[in-house]
């Protein structure tokens, strides 16, 4: 499977715990995006990287959230001191980042449930 | 700020009937518009983008800058079209192609009855 890969697919945690999600983009894609989707809503942008540089962060990304993309390959999204409101589907997408080919390809997502 | 509105959460039609999924947007610059689709138990995938001017699976969408709309249309719906459809917007550069984040609408669930 050469698509965007996200792990784990599901994560159940207790309030106050830290969680980390991983995204492996399509290999030649230099842009990587994180989105969050809650029930009944469309995906909402969180942050994106071009190679290893984090170029934009949404105000949805509180200081409990941190994302990294070391070496411009895979990315991790960490949520510290989780809250019940963090329960959502976290989606990762990647793209070539070239103007004519900036189509974003999505992973299957990580579903987070905070108890 | 950019915003995408899909006024219908649910849309039901019978097989062979025409279907139109509405999308309106607001954005101060010149955007690129997309339709993404999510079939049951599958990941979100691109259906079409306005800059390509293609017909994919019989669907077309025309960008109307005057009405700030990008409605998705198909003349004869099929049962396999049943899915969640999202309209999305991205900022575009001077050449009209997109860069950066996508802003999504809330989605429309299309059900095509036999």
CB A48 within 8 A of CB B101: yes
CB B70 within 8 A of CB B53: no
- Report which of A27, A25, A37 is spatially closest to residue A91, judged by C-alpha positions: A37
Q: Which of B44, B46, B49 would you mutate first to test chain A, the one with the most A CBs within 10 A?
A: B44
Find chain A residues with C-beta within 8 A of B46's C-beta: 103-105
Predicted local distance difference test score (pLDDT) of residue A1? 54
Predicted local distance difference test score (pLDDT) of residue B112? 98
Predicted local distance difference test score (pLDDT) of residue A99? 58
**More confident position, A101 or B18:** B18
For A76-105, what is the mean pLDDT? 89
For chain B, the residue count is 114
Per-residue pLDDT tens digits for B16-75: 999 999 999 999 888 889 999 999 999 999 999 887 778 889 999 988 989 999 999 999
- Residue B78: count of CB within 10 angstroms of its CB: 14
CB B103 within 8 A of CB B39: no
Predicted local distance difference test score (pLDDT) of residue A28? 86
Judged by a CB distance cut-off of 8 A, whether residue B45 touches chain A is yes
Judged by a CB distance cut-off of 8 A, whether residue B33 touches chain A is no
Q: Nearest residue of A to residue B4 by CA position?
A: A42
Predicted local distance difference test score (pLDDT) of residue A72? 86
Per-residue pLDDT tens digits for A13-40: 999 999 999 999 999 899 999 999 999 8
- Report which of A85, A90, A89, A79 is spatially closest to residue A114, judged by C-alpha positions: A85
A99 Cα to chain B: minimum distance (Å): 6
CA angle A76, A8, A5 (to 5 degrees): 70
Find chain A residues with C-beta within 8 A of B88's C-beta: 42
Per-residue pLDDT tens digits for B84-103: 999 999 887 665 555 678 99
Predicted local distance difference test score (pLDDT) of residue A98? 65
Judged by a CB distance cut-off of 8 A, whether residue B104 touches chain A is yes
């Amino acid at each position: 499977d050469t698509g965007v890969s996200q792990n784990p697919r599901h994560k159940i945690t207790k309030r106050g715990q830290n969680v980390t999600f991983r995204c492996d983009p399509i290999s030649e894609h230099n842009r990587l995006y994180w989105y969050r989707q809650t029930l009944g809503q469309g995906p909402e942008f969180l942050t994106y990287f071009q190679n290893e540089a984090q170029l934009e962060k949404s105000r949805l990304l509180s200081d409990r959230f941190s994302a990294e993309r070391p070496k411009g390959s895979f990315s991790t999204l960490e949520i510290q001191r989780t809250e019940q409101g963090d329960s959502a589907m976290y989606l990762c997408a990647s793209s070539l980042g070239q103007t004519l080919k900036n189509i974003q390809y999505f992973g299957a997502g990580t579903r987070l449930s905070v108890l | 700020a950019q915003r995408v509105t899909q006024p219908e959460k649910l849309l039901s039609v019978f097989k062979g009937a025409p279907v139109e999924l509405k999308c309106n947007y607001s954005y101060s610059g010149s955007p690129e518009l997309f339709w993404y689709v999510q079939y049951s138990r599958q990941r979100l995938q691109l259906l079409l983008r306005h800059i390509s001017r293609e017909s994919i699976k019989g669907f077309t969408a025309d960008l109307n800058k005057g009405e700030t709309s990008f409605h998705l249309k198909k003349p004869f719906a099929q049962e396999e079209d049943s899915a969640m459809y999202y309209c999305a917007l991205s900022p575009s550069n001077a050449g009209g192609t997109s860069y950066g984040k996508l802003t999504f609408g809330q989605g429309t669930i299309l059900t095509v009855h036999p």
